[in-house]
Structures are given as C-alpha cells and as structure tokens.
Amino acid sequence: MVTPERVRCLFGTDGVRDVANSGIMMPEMALRLGRAFVLFLTERGVPRPKIAVGRDTRRSGVMLESALVSGMMSAGADVHSLGVFPTPGVSYVLRNSDFDGGGIISASHNPAEYNGIKFLDSSGSKLSDDDEATIEEYLGDNLLDDWRPTGASIGGLVNECARAEEYAAWLSGQLSLAGDCDWPIVVDAANGAVSTIAMTVFSNWRGRVSYTGVTPDGLNINEGVGVIHIRHLAETVKRESAVLGFAFDGDADRVLLCDGLGRVIDGDIMLWIISRYLASRGQLGSGVVSTVMSNMALDEKMAEDGIEIFRSQVGDRYVVDMMRKTGARLGGEQSGHIIALDYASTGDGIGAGILFLRACRELGEDISSLVDRFPRYPQLLRNIRVADREGVLASPELEEARAHALAKLSGSGRILLRPSGTEPLLRILVEAKDEGVMRAVCDDLERAVRSVSGGAG
C-alpha cells in the first residue's frame, strides 16, 4: 500500500488511463512513462532491461506503443513488441521467458476513444502501488531527462508477433483437459486483443462454437459486446441454443459467462465452483480471496464446503496481494477477474473460463442449475456526490448511523461505505436477506451522509 506521503496522481486501479491523444494519455506522456519504467528497473539492478510490450486493438494503440517503446529504447532497454496481445498473454510470456518487465497499452473495458498504459514485473504480476508511486516520482526527476544513453547503449527493438501462437497453444492444452465435452458454446471476444487467439483456441472444442465480437476495426472494441454489454452474449446464447457463453473485455483479463437461459454466471459463482475443484486437487492453499463487493451468498457457499474466504479491497491486484499474504491460491472479483496462481500471475479471461469448464466436468456440475443454487442477498448501491469524502467518512454522525444500521441488519447483512477512486462520490452498498430492511438501512445511511455533507449532491 502507498503511504499518504506517496499518493499516486497518474496511476489508478489499473494503470494510467485517459482519452487517447488527450489529457494524460498523450504520446509525450507515453514516452516519459517508458523512460521512467526503464529507470525504475535500472535503479533496481537491471542494467539493460529486456521488456515485452503488447497492445489491444484500439486505433490509438500503434501511436502510443510507438511512443512508449521509443521512451524505453532511449533509456537503454531492449524491447520485444508482441503486437496485438491480451494482458494475460503478456503475463504468460513474462512468466515463461527471461524478460525483466512488461508494458501493455490498453484501456480494458473502456470505449475505443480511451487508452491506457500499465506495467508488469518479471513474474507477470501487476506492480504494487508503491512501485507505481516510484515511477511517478521519476517523471519529475531531472535524471529522467539527463539520462541519455548513446551509441551501442541505445536499446533495440525485436518484433515477436509469433508469441501469440505460443500463448494460444498453452490455452489449447488447458482446454484439452476439459475432456470430451461437446456442448454448443458462444464466444464473445469484445472485438478486443483476444479476438484471433480466441478463435484459435476454441477451434479445438468438440462441440459447435459461435463467435461474436471477433472483427476488430480499431473503433469497435467493447462496442455493444463483451463483459460491459453482457446482454448481447445472453441473447446470442439463447438464439444459438448454446449451453454456455463466454464474454471477455478489451484486454481479456476478465470473463463473464451466461448459461443456456441467458443468465449471468459472474465471478462469485466461478469462485464457488473453481474453489471446490482446486480443493479436491489439493491446489487451493488456505482458501479463497474475494473483494468487499462479493455477495454474502459466496461466504455461505464457502462455509458449506469448509473453505475459508478472505476479503480484499476492490481491484484485482489487491486480490493478488491478499492471496500472497494469506496463502490462498485462488481469488477474484464479482466483475470477472479470476486469478488461480498455479495457472497464471494475473487475471486471464480465457484461462479462467477454461478452468471453470474443467471444474464443472470434474465435479459433475449442471451448468443450467448454478444460478438457481446460488441465492444472492439483495444488494442496493447508491452514489452520493460529496466534496469532502474522507471528512464525511470520519464524522461521528456517520459512524453513529453506521452502528444503528448494523444493529438493524442483526447479522443478516452488511454495509460498505467507500469513496470513489475517480469521482467526488461516496458509495453506499447495503446487502441484506430482507429487501425491506436493506432499503430502510440504505435510506438511513444516505440521510446521514447528506446531513454531514451539508445536503450537497
């Protein structure tokens, strides 16, 4: 965690992100970020870093990759360009090769006009808050501009587009372990970085496969498809009479599923199924990590099987941090980030989907019944515009309202009050078995927040 003295200004929960060619996502910033990342590695004892770089299908990706790579090379790094490549694919390459770090140009689930930059370490894991804060500090350091290698010390560039075949082959091998399943399925690649790879991998599926979101044109990534528009997958699954559908996001580190009735199988249900499979194989470690946003139904399901569940703050890298602290080998988010450390160092949409398939087959699960067998607690989320979010959260009046709310829930629900990381909003999440109690508690908390903040909003 970053200390208050080292608050990040550019990096958010998943790298640096903005509208491409605007704000902080200009080529000039990409170049400086590339140089700063190399300086970060060099200062940690890597004299001539070897870095793998991939991007998603956005039109702005080539522009920003050119700038990022130029910055890295000008700081003395040897860069291997993977071309259009999903985030988990870059992680796979780092984990199985001798690279010192990785860079990814992607804005994940955001619309096509956005783009972003994030970095991975040599193991294929996302950097810590503290590491990102250090990279930001280098951006303001004179050394960043003064440090200019020349001659043979300037970095080189290698194009390694064939790495996609290596990653696809690994995924295909994982899919083969799902056995002789031949259900009809639907694959929605969100017109993103995994479009081609997904078709290669699922070409080995014994059953009928219908594809959607596999014709990227640089401007249609996430447009009406993928995890953000899960209704598209739901409708396609029903139309194609499929048993299961997979939807990815733009950089394919997330996956959401739909059953044959078009009902969403989210990260909570996937954690429930995969955890039992890994436990049966002795690969679960100390338990499962989910975020504070996961439904309490997951806690109940884990308790039924004697599996311990740990909670982390929102963000897949915080999930991984908690996994390392607790010894858990599986973690994830309701939104579809699933991390199984024996298989990947970060969220891998296709990999997690395949692992879910394997788990269902080995456990004899009926996919059509999973949603029915996972009775969720009703949830209510409200966003209240507040100028001084931290001040409101620390107020005695809100603390008293929180205590009354917990008493009203009587142990059959929970509340979560947290500030938005990107907007002047305070988020209130209430979850309870009784929907009437849930709404009453949420009303009480909203009144308290508005009272403390002076009615602003």
Q: Which residues pair with 384 in a beta bridge?
A: 426
- Which residues are CB-neighbours of 430 under 8 A, at least 6 positions away? 379, 380, 405, 413, 414, 415, 416, 438, 439, 441, 442, 445
Between the ranges 142-146, 181-185, 308-312, 426-430, where is the mean pLDDT highest?
308-312
The 10s digit of each residue's pLDDT in 188-237 is 999 999 999 999 999 989 999 999 999 999 999 999 999 999 999 999 99
Host domain of residue 85:
4-161
* CB burial of residue 291 (10 Å; 0-12, 13-18, 19+): buried
Distance CA 404, CA 250 (A): 42
Q: Are the CB atoms for 392 and 425 separated by under 8 Å?
A: no
Q: What rounded mean pLDDT belongs to the chain? A: 93
Active site members: 108
In the block, which residue shows the tokens 């989320």? 381
The residues, ordered by sequence, that sit 6+ positions from 433 with a Cβ below 8 Å of its Cβ are 377, 378, 412, 413
- Tell me how many domains the chain contains: 4
Q: What pLDDT sits at residue 2?
A: 42
In a domain, 317, yes or no: yes
Last residue of a domain, one of 127, 161, 195: 161
Domain assignment present for 358: no
428 and 310 both lie in a single domain: no
Q: Does any domain span residue 306?
A: yes
Q: Would residue 10 count as lying in a domain?
A: yes
Residue 393: both structure tokens together:
């959260």
| Residue at 397 is within a domain | yes
222 — alpha (psi -120 to 50), left (phi > 0) or beta? left
**How far is Cα 391 from Cα 175, in angstroms, rounded to an integer?**
50
Residue 332 maps to which CATH number? 3.40.120.10
CB atoms within 10 A of CB 243: 18
> What integer pLDDT is reported at residue 422 of this predicted model?
60
CA separation, residue 135 to residues 106, 272, 345, 376 (Å): 19, 37, 21, 41
